[in-house]
Structure 1
Amino acid sequence: MRALRWHGKHDIRCDTVPDPIIEQGRDAIIKVSTCAICGSDLHLFDGFMPTMESGDIMGHEFMGEVVDVGKDNHKLKVGDRVVVPFTIFCGECERGNFSVCEGSNRNAAKADKVFGHTTAGLFGYSHLTGGYAGGQAEYVRVPMADTTHVKIPDGLTDEQVLFLGDIFPTGWQAAVNCDIQPDDTVAIWGAGPVGQMAIRSAGID
């Protein structure tokens, strides 16, 4: 398959790489139909994020069609359309703190030293977050895919749902954290993509 790979600061290439395969029972393989570039990818491009390795596949905003599932994945079937969130999560957290899932980051101890607390495993975002291949590729392996997905109902286009993977929840969470009331006046600084999503989530026309 073809995939965008990081080879160093300011060096991103479209390379031919082996197709991903099922490695664990809860996995799924997704044929990517649409992906996006996140502002966070600039941290990788500019060499700001440590522990990237030459050949790492980038991308954490993607969606597509399920083409294979592991034997223990009973939530997905071949042909399902899904958006895959940035964070990989086991789904067993009693607090619902999926973005800091301690079960999905294969390098949790290293992340704990650098960040003070581990993040969840993240797609295409350095070996501090698990070293998982990202979705700027033709196919991607999704670990814990029975929980790490948003199933798309029939009749919705990729363009209508792609942002559910990262950018829309980021803006929505900002609005939720502000506890906006119906008679509040809201000001949002920065009208980039996340700002636009925060505006919409705040109920502003």
Structure 2
Amino acid sequence: MPYRVESVPFESRGAEHYRCQPFGQVPWITDGDLTVFESGAALLHVAERSEQLLPRDRRARADVAQWVFAALNSVEAASLPWFVLKFAGDGEETAERKAIASFLTSRLTHMEDVLSGRDWLTPRFSAADIAMADVLRLIDRFDGLASYPACKAYVTRAVERPAFRTAYEDQMAHFARGGEGG
């Protein structure tokens, strides 16, 4: 599927940006005359074009959709406060930070159980794995999967896929050019 990576200013986001993404965030995608914001919505929009990513069968489709939402609402929601503290270098031990870590541990323990003994969330690789692997990849960035070998192996499988490598390399090349060019 052809695509183009584009950048937007980090500051000074104008009216056009807010027209595409009402919260002034990224990402969003433009597909012809259609703009779709929020990563999960954009992922499902793209997945509509591939039966591999989003099966036509009603049950299989529901299985993929629920795992996409689980990645974004159950695992990412638990990981985001932890990730922000790690990214900021804030390692102070407080009751609040322990609660954040405990919440993430609970989610990762469940994901470890789910991923033990299987390659993907559904019987074959799907949009669900794109979402979940991306969420878990950010946790792994700060060694958060060290005690979760099935989660870590899952992320490794996902990022070793040729499609992931191509998209990642395209994005890094775009940034290396200073965010210019497609």
- Shorter-chain TM-score bucket reads under 0.3
**Greater helix percent: which structure?**
2
Q: TM-score, normalised by structure 1?
A: 0.23
**Greater strand percent: which structure?**
1
